[in-house]
Amino acid sequence: MQGEAKEEIRSRLAIEDVIGEYVELKRAGRNFKGLSPFSGEKTPSFFVSPDKNIWHDFSSNKGGDVFSFVMEVEGMDFRQALELLARKAGVDLSMYETKGSQELARRKKRAYEAHDWAAKYYQQCLLRSQRAMKYVFERRGLSKQVVTDFLIGYAPDSGQALTTALSKKGFTKKELADAGLTNRFGGDMFRGRVMIPLMDPSGQVIGFTGRIIEDVEGAPKYLNTPQTIIYDKGRHIFGLSQAKEAVRLTDYIVMVEGNLDVVSSHQAGVRQVVATAGTAMTEHHLRAVKRLVGDVRLAYDGDKAGIAATERAIGLGSQVGVELTVVSLPDGAKDPDELIQQDVALWRQAIDARQPAVDWVLDQYRARVDITTASGKRAFTNAGLAIVRSLHDAVERDHYERKIAEMTGTSLSAVQAKSHDTKQATPQLRPIKQASAVDPAPDYSIEDSLLALTAIDVPSQELLTHLQFDLLHGEERQALARYLAAHRGQVLVDTPDDLQKYDTYVKIVLLRADTRYAEWDGNDRYFETARLLRQIEHEDKKQTRDILITELRNAEEADDETKADDLRRQLNLLIKEIARGKR
């Protein structure tokens, strides 16, 4: 049923119109082209094909359909992209759901609508309250623009103000409870607080953080929306919808602890800043961020809680595959907001001077113990190795084991022995299957170019008979190469029935052929095909050479002279072949 919804949305939306909201596109024959939103290029290499309903970015080798584009630029998963495009296309997804999921979809829709109205209501209340405006504009120093950008408002302290206003809009008590806007007594969840909306990556309000204006004994300074059918605090990232564009431009993201730190930074012009909305960082947070960027900079407090939060983040970051660094605030600033009030230039400098997360944690522990004593060394290595064990990369673990040994003046073998002993004492739990991380697309552009040429040039297809198909990476490339070799003499204009399983990839290849090679003459296509074939074979030989060198070293270390002699013979022959290929 989801596939039917996807096709209905695709039929209603022009891919060039959707992408045109993010990229300035210009007509280029049957296609459109523009500057890549994923790199800082100056020459357009980003193409959109309305005919094929496909896009491809030659600078990053990314491509796909309208759904994959929205997932890339918005940092969304597929379901979020589906819902965003459904709203844009006017498609009711509940029509494609089962009866039970239709009811849940209806409840979610009403929760979203309630939050839209609540945000507007709170904004109106802010303008009516002199006390709230004084706090927002004078005490916090926020501008009208940033208040508008973040939809900041005010919840009256009567206890029934929002409930009364939304009931007049037709919302029932059950719907308001579903949305997390009422307390257990049916009254307003928030009262007498400045309201900061929590938004999903598309900018849809899904909850609120309420900041008390004047300290009241026993009252929490901040109050957040509870877990609801549309708000999951373990997944939500505050400020992501406002930060996305700046993140793409700077190619990194800063994660802070407080929502108002984000607002202040945004106002000061440093907009690539988000927060985990008052909750501990989770794997879901980092996976959501990684859809946009792999460079994550943490600006947590340097106290015990901040160190513990950074420790947790290191293990998660290693598992997800992001590069984690830590932003240290200069003495005298307790949080980014306070530093920004002093001088935004200091905040920028702190971000630029970030430190690898593990190094930062080790420095924090070293400052807290006397590592000239035996007990200090023991405490330091215990804490340090606990962090190192959370790293998934063996080379990185080795690097930090050596660093711990160096910092404590201890032998590497002693540190490694301690690490091994601790691992042995740790109960072995069953591994949890995690969703695979979305890594940057590998660069197989040479192979894609070869297939693009042979898809549209009949003489070049003859050269495919000289290719070993298993040299190509991925099932889709091998399948397309075999098809072209088996159907020599035919120009490919669309995805054939035999390759429907790889429809998106085939269309990307045809878009590459159309934009790069359509205007080339026959001779140039033929010679380029031959060159690419030689390059693919040459790269394969280089990889084989590296494998043989490694095996030879192992054989020599094992004193297996017979095997070593055979490997040397193979290696010499291969080196000669590589040298001939360069001539």
What is the dihedral angle through the alpha carbons of 222, 225, 231, 232, rounded to the nearest 10 degrees? 60
What is the dihedral angle through the alpha carbons of 277, 283, 286, 290, rounded to the nearest 10 degrees? -150
Q: How far is CA 470 from CA 181, 474, 478, 536, in A?
A: 58, 9, 7, 11
Question: Please, which pLDDT band fits residue 430 given cuts at 50, 70 and 90?
Answer: very low
Tell me the C-alpha distance between 28 and 47, whole Å: 9
In percent, the amount of the chain with pLDDT more than 90 equals 28
**DSSP conformation class of 440:** P
Question: What is the pLDDT at residue 131?
Answer: 93
Q: What is the 3-state secondary structure (H, E, C) of 124-155?
A: HHHHHCHHHHHHHHHHCCCCHHHHHHCCCEEE
Tell me the C-alpha distance between 242 and 258, whole Å: 15
pLDDT at 26 over 70: yes
Question: Please, which pLDDT band fits residue 135 given cuts at 50, 70 and 90?
Answer: very high
pLDDT at 3 over 90: no
In percent, the amount of the chain with pLDDT more than 70 equals 92
- Tokens of residue 461, six digits: 């297809």
Residue 255: which of 322, 344, 166 has the closest Cα? Answer: 322
- Least confident piece of the model among 77-86, 158-167, 350-359: 77-86
Residue 300: which of 283, 312, 318 has the closest Cα? Answer: 312
Average pLDDT over residues 249-258: 90
The predicted-structure confidence for 279-337, as pLDDT tens digits, reads as follows 678 888 888 888 788 899 998 866 677 777 777 888 888 878 888 999 988 887 888 98
Name the range with the highest mean pLDDT among 49-53, 255-259, 269-273, 292-296: 269-273
Average pLDDT over residues 35-62: 87
pLDDT at 432 over 60: no
Question: What is the pLDDT at residue 582?
Answer: 52
Question: What is the pLDDT at residue 97?
Answer: 65
Question: Please, which pLDDT band fits residue 572 given cuts at 50, 70 and 90?
Answer: confident
Q: Following DSSP, what letter does each residue of 173-241 receive, concatenated?
A: HHHHHHTT-B-TTSSBS--SEEEEEEE-TTS-EEEEEEEESS--TTS-SEEEPPP-SS--TTT--BTHH
Sign of CA dihedral 210, 214, 215, 217: negative
Tell me the C-alpha distance between 461 and 431, whole Å: 47
Question: Please, which pLDDT band fits residue 118 given cuts at 50, 70 and 90?
Answer: very high
**DSSP conformation class of 567:** H
Tell me the C-alpha distance between 102 and 95, whole Å: 7
Question: What is the pLDDT at residue 161?
Answer: 94
Q: How far is CA 375 from CA 85, 340, 363, 406, in A?
A: 60, 40, 17, 17
Residue 327: which of 389, 265, 381 has the closest Cα? Answer: 265
Tell me the C-alpha distance between 45 and 60, whole Å: 9
How far does CA 375 lie from the centroid of its chain? 42
- Tokens of residue 23, six digits: 């990229």
- Tokens of residue 428, six digits: 């072995």
Average pLDDT over residues 548-568: 80
pLDDT at 436 over 50: no
Average pLDDT over residues 222-246: 89
Question: What is the pLDDT at residue 423?
Answer: 52
Question: Please, which pLDDT band fits residue 100 given cuts at 50, 70 and 90?
Answer: low
Question: Please, which pLDDT band fits residue 442 given cuts at 50, 70 and 90?
Answer: low
Average pLDDT over residues 8-33: 87
Element housing 298 (H / E): strand 295-299
The predicted-structure confidence for 556-565, as pLDDT tens digits, reads as follows 777 788 887 7
Question: What is the pLDDT at residue 567?
Answer: 77
What is the dihedral angle through the alpha carbons of 302, 303, 308, 310, rounded to the nearest 10 degrees? -10
Q: How far is CA 59 from CA 75, 370, 445, 536, in A?
A: 19, 51, 10, 20
- Least confident piece of the model among 261-265, 291-295, 309-313, 453-457: 309-313
Q: Are 63 and 54 in contact (CB under 8 A)?
A: yes
pTM here is: 0.61
Tell me the C-alpha distance between 277 and 267, whole Å: 18
Average pLDDT over residues 525-544: 83
Three-class DSSP category at 54: strand
Question: What is the pLDDT at residue 331?
Answer: 80
Question: What is the pLDDT at residue 441?
Answer: 54
The predicted-structure confidence for 180-232, as pLDDT tens digits, reads as follows 999 988 999 999 999 999 998 888 999 999 999 987 777 788 899 988 989 98
Question: Please, which pLDDT band fits residue 578 given cuts at 50, 70 and 90?
Answer: low
